[in-house]
Amino acid sequence: MDEELVGLTIDGNYVKVRKGTTILQAAKEIGIDIPTLCFLKDINEVGDCRMCIVEVERRKGFATSCIQKVEEGMIVHTHTPSVMEARHIILDLIISNHAKDCLTCTRSGNCELQALAEKFNISNIEFTGEVSNHKIDDKSPAIVRDFNKCILCRRCTATCKNVQEIGAIDCVERGFDSCISTTYDKSLNDVDCTFCGQCIESCPTGALHEKECINDVWVKLKDPDTYVVVQTAPAVRVAIRRRVWNGYTE
Ligand code: SF4
Ligand code: SF4
């Protein structure tokens, strides 16, 4: 049976796409890039951050393109001055409550928020006031959580729940107090987390990152009493082991 197609116009381009396609996906199919932050294809399609807003003719307000399905005859504008201004304000608001230590952040140069700030030429933050002050959770042997860099996109919770089927983390509290947490706000080390690291992969900022031990490795490498074994494998991994043999260390 032929797939049902829907015709619409995006930024002056007439396009036919499968019924059920979102505006975001339809735009992508013809090479139009709409910025996103909370969107994670097939995992977190919730329209929370509103970076992907667009204008649809004969509609009031903005449409959230990552969840709005295409309709026959729709006329969409993705980069009008009002859309760009609204996205700028959204970014300003997000960054106003975000730690600003990009220089030393593990995700610097690989951060979706930083990339958008550059793209939108955010040079000073217009909104000032109260900011969140979360304590960093680095109790786990593998994962560091710094929610002073969290933008509440919920990509991590959706990944943990829907992909890994663990559900170790969720969004708690409301309004300004909203944050990603665990049962009774315990450390990740003390809940059902398997340390698979998939939440880190899905995080667009430096709010979640691997615990790195590079300095410890340097110390071990320089230790004349440590026998260093280099191990290559398909995955990037390093192991240092002090071998005890007949009471001697090698
Ligand atoms: S490491 Fe895996 S199990 Fe733990 S919170 Fe992240 S996604 Fe969930
Ligand atoms: S920790 Fe990262 S992925 Fe999770 S809500 Fe915050 S910014 Fe999004």
Per residue in 150-164, pLDDT (tens digit) is 999 999 999 999 999
Q: 203 and 95, same structural domain?
A: yes
Report the pLDDT value the prediction gives residue 227, as an integer from 0 to 100.
80
Residue 21 within a domain? yes
Report the pLDDT value the prediction gives residue 79, as an integer from 0 to 100.
98
The number of the ligand 2 atom at minimal distance from the alpha carbon of 171 is: 5
Domain edge (last residue) among 79, 98, 128: 79
pLDDT tens string 16-54: 999 999 999 999 999 999 999 999 999 999 999 999 999
pLDDT tens string 103-153: 999 999 999 999 999 999 998 888 888 888 888 999 988 899 999 999 999
Residue 84 within a domain? no
Ligand 1 binding pocket includes 197 (Cβ within 6 Å): yes
Question: Ligand 2 atom 8: the closest Cα is on which residue?
Answer: 153
More confident residue, 7 or 178: 7
pTM given for the model = 0.86
The number of the ligand 1 atom at minimal distance from the alpha carbon of 169 is: 5
Residue 85 within a domain? no
SS3 assignment for the chain: CCCCEEEEEECCEEEEEECCCEHHHHHHHCCCCCCCCCCECCCECCCCCCCCEEEECCCCCCEECCCCECCCCCEEECCCHHHHHHHHHHHHHHHHCCCCCHHHCCCCCCCHHHHHHHHCCCCCCCCCCCCCCCCCECCCCCEEECHHHCCCCCHHHHHHHHHCCCCCCEEECCHHHCEEECHHHCCHHHCCCCCCCHHHHHCCCCCEEECCCHHHHHHHHHCCCCCCCCCCCCCCCCCCCCCEECCEEC
Q: What percent of the chain has pLDDT over 70?
A: 91
- Domain residue limits at 73: 5-79
Report the pLDDT value the prediction gives residue 67, as an integer from 0 to 100.
98
Indicate the pLDDT class of residue 250, thresholds 50, 70 and 90: very low
Domain count within the chain: 3
Ligand 1 binding pocket includes 43 (Cβ within 6 Å): no
More confident residue, 52 or 219: 52
Mutate to test the pocket of ligand 2, among 155, 179, 193, 201 (most ligand atoms within 8 A of CB): 155
Q: 117 and 10, same structural domain?
A: no
Which-ligand-closest: CA of 168? 1
Report the pLDDT value the prediction gives residue 1, as an integer from 0 to 100.
56
Residue 245 within a domain? yes
Q: 139 and 106, same structural domain?
A: yes
Ligand 1 binding pocket includes 144 (Cβ within 6 Å): no
- Asked if residue 70 has pLDDT above 50, the reply is yes
- Asked if residue 243 has pLDDT above 70, the reply is no
